[in-house]
Structure 1
Amino acid sequence: MSVLYTFPGQGAQRPGMLHALPAHPVVAETLNEASVALGSDVLLLDTEAALRYTVAVQLCLLVAGVAAARHLAMLGAQPALVAGLSIGAFPAAVTAGVLDFADAVRLVRQRAQSMQDAYPAGYGMTAITGLLAAQLAPLVAQVHSAAQPVYIANLNGPRQLVIAGADAAMAAVANLVQAGNHGARAERLAVSVPSHCALFDRQAQALASAMSAVALRRPQHAVTYISGSAARAMFDGAAIGADLAHNMARPVHWYDGIRHAWERGARLAIEMPTGSVLTKLTQPVFEGGLAVSCETMSFDDIACLVRRHLQ
């Protein structure tokens, strides 16, 4: 039986999230390392005002995930597998030793800035619950156009999907969903860019070029990297780098990725800060296992749980 660490994507952020991290030297070191790589104090990014912007959100999620995983390592808790949703793939890759944290900070800043600049307003993401992908796809196709694009972006569960695109197109899909009398619901997410669709093809290619300039290694310390896009384990550093660069333009297959982790022996899933959305998505797959989050348990208790699990 193995331990899986999951790292959340945009929408999980909250004001004060970096300040709420444990007061531990390894956390302080991580925050300082991020500040040096950025050339500015990373603790200025988790204010309510700053988190209105994609750059601050993605950097905070990267830093919080890496700091939490490092803190748990100091407490004797190590994962056998890691998986990240969207931006969460970057702290997952750092935790697996695929790339250096400072490189990840600079790459995530480029990623987020390019996404923010491309679609500063009028676009985003909307969660659709209660429909299968096969039911949602024709509704999306009915609305989608070059002028008002919309795509299925995340397949988080059999009936937990996310669309991305222009505000008007998403609203039109939401109206069709809720008029269908299937008991389905649509909810706009706290994400201001249309992630995980072809609208970011050009930005993904630019990030891939930047990725080619950093050192990429095979996962270290017997940690397996699970791609949220490909829903499978990846073992080659260059392939993981390409996965990281292009995930902004590819649908997320989270449900299938978590099933793959289960099939590879994961029975305890720990969600890194912040929030517990991934824990709720993981629990149905981990029937007979356990999924918990750093949001609802102390780091000391999680470390004890991991150590007991591995005995």
Structure 2
Amino acid sequence: MTCALLFPGQGEQRPGMLHDLSDHPAVGQTLDEISEALGEDVRRLDTAEALRSNASTQLALFSASAASFRALSALGVRPDHVAGHSIGAFSAAVACGALTLGDAARAVRVRGTAMERAYPSGYGMGVVLGLPEPEVAGIAEAVGTPDDPLYPTNVNAPLQVAVSGTDRAVDRALALALARGATKAVRLAVSVPAHCPLMSGPEAELAAHMAKVEMARPATPFAGNVGGRTLRTADAVRDDLIRSIARPVRWHEATSVLRERGVDLFVQVLPGDSLARLAAAAFPESRVACLQANSLERVSELVDWTRRRSENA
């Protein structure tokens, strides 16, 4: 019976999210360290205007999740596994010791800037609920064209699958999904076509940057985005961080593997609660919590209780 920390991706951002973080000293120290590494005050990136930028959004999300992890760590929380959805994988890499905070922040800036520069407008993502992956793939094939490409991407749950492409193609796919029985089909708050072949250029830019970054063997198993498996070497984590930019996030597979490995408590760090809700739906026999609805101290108590229970089992 162990604990996994979950680090959220895009879609969880909201104005003011960095200013609403806990006043724990570790939070301020983390935001200061990130600001120093970037040469700019990261606290300026959570305004409504700043969050219109894909690059700023990724940095703000990374900063919020890294700061909340550092605060939990200061209270003695030591996860047994970590998993990050999309951009959340970079804060997960910090949490497991594979990347330093500064190196991760600089990599996130390269990633977000490259994605935004490649597709400044006219592209995005949507999500379909209630249809399985093969059916969503068929919809993407039916509506996509050379001028309006569309791809099935992230598999967040067996019946929650994302699509990426031009705005026109995404809108057509969502309408067709509803016509074919989807319970919900909506646009995501993502302004680029992430996790599909359209991201091959940004992937190459990120790979060139990451080739110069020193990484360490993760001290805690890291659940990868691309293969949906736990990774235990520096090279494997580096490869996953690079490749996931242009490939689907196999989130349900990754968290299912964590459950099979004995994870009994899933905790989502800030911001948001979408990953906690996915875990609660997929693994009703597990305990699930998120910092959005619990204090740092309460989450620390839950993790400690889970560990004691495991030791006494």
Indicate whether 1:76 and 2:76 are aligned. yes
Conservation of the 8 A alpha-carbon contact between 2:128 and 2:182: no
In structure 1, the partner of 2:132 is 132
> What is the aligned partner in structure 1 of residue 311 from structure 2?
none
Letter in 1 for 2:231: M
Deviation at 1:183, TM superposition (A): 4.3
Three-state SS of the structure 2 residue aligned to 1:165 is strand
TM-superposition CA deviations, 1:160-186 (whole Å, max 9, x none) = 111010011111111211222x24321
Paired position in structure 2 for 1:310: 307
What is the deviation of 1:215?
A: 0.9
Please give the secondary structure, in 2, of the residue aligned with 1:284. helix
Tell me if structure 1 keeps the 8 A contact 2:267–2:289. yes
5+ long unaligned stretches in structure 2: 309-313
Q: Deviations over 1:246-293 (max 9, x none)?
A: 211010111111100101111100001111000111112322211111
Which residue number corresponds to residue 142 of structure 2? 142
Match of 2:98 in 1: 98
What letter corresponds to residue 211 of structure 2 in structure 1?
S
CA distance in 2, matches of 1:198, 1:289: 35
Q: Which residue of 1 aligns with 2:262?
A: 265
Give the whole-Å Cα distance in 2 for the aligned partners of 1:211 and 1:183.
Answer: 39
Q: Aligned pair 1:282/2:279, yes or no?
A: yes
Q: What is the count of residue pairs matched by the alignment? A: 308
1:254 correspondence with 2:244? no
**Structure 1 segments of 4 or more deviating over 3 A?**
none
Please give the residue correspondences for 1:106-117 in structure 2 after superposition, counting only pairs within 5 Å. Answer: 106-117=106-117
* Map 1:42-61 → 2, pairs under 5 A: 42-61=42-61
TM-score (norm. length: structure 1): 0.97
Instruction: Give the distance between the partners of 2:143 and 2:254, measured in 1 at CA.
Output: 29
Q: Confirm or deny: 8 A CA contact 2:118 2:201 kept in the other structure.
A: no
Equivalent residues of 1:218, 1:236 under 8 A apart: yes
1:184 partnered with 2:183: yes
- Alpha-carbon deviation of 1:106? 0.6
Partner residue in 1 for 2:294: 297
Deviation at 1:82, TM superposition (A): 0.3
Whether contact under 8 Å (1:262, 1:285) holds in the other structure is: no
Query: Are 1:232 and 1:260, in contact at CA under 8 Å, matched by a contact in 2?
Result: yes
Q: Hey, what does 2:16 align to over in structure 1?
A: 16
Amino acid at match of 1:29: Q
SS at match of 2:176: helix
1:218 aligns with 2:208: no
2:192 aligns to what? Answer: 193
Task: Kindly provide the amino acid, as one letter, of the partner of residue 36 in structure 1.
Answer: E
How far 1:5 moved relative to its partner? 0.3
Separation in structure 2 between the aligned mates of residue 69 and residue 269 of structure 1, nearest angstrom = 14
Please say if residues 107 and 210 of structure 1, whose CA atoms lie closer than 8 Å, have aligned partners that are also in contact. Answer: yes
Q: Distance in 2 between matches of 1:107 and 1:70?
A: 19
Note the C-alpha offset of 1:137. 1.5
1:236 paired to 2:229 = no
Partners of 1:59 and 1:138 in 2: CA distance: 34
Contact 1:12/1:275, CA 8 A, preserved across alignment: yes
- Residues 36-91 of structure 1: CA deviation (Å, up to 9, x unaligned): 11111111001111011111110111111111111111111110100000000000
Letter in 1 for 2:281: P
Q: Partners in 1 of 2:95 and 2:226 — Cα distance?
A: 18
Aligned Cα root-mean-square deviation (Å): 1.0
CA contact (8 A) 1:205 1:246 kept: no
TM-score by length of 2: 0.96
Do 1:7 and 1:273's aligned partners in 2 also have CA atoms closer than 8 Å? yes
Q: Which residue identity does 2:22 align to in structure 1?
A: P
Q: Which residue identity is paired with 1:62?
A: F
Letter paired with 2:216? R
1:255 partner amino acid: H
Distance 2:265 2:183 in 1: 30
Q: What residue identity is the alignment partner of 1:6?
A: L
Paired position in structure 2 for 1:203: 202
Does the 8 Å contact 1:267/1:286 carry over to 2?
A: no
- Conserved 8 A contact 2:114-2:205: no
- The 3-state SS of whatever aligns with 2:213 is coil
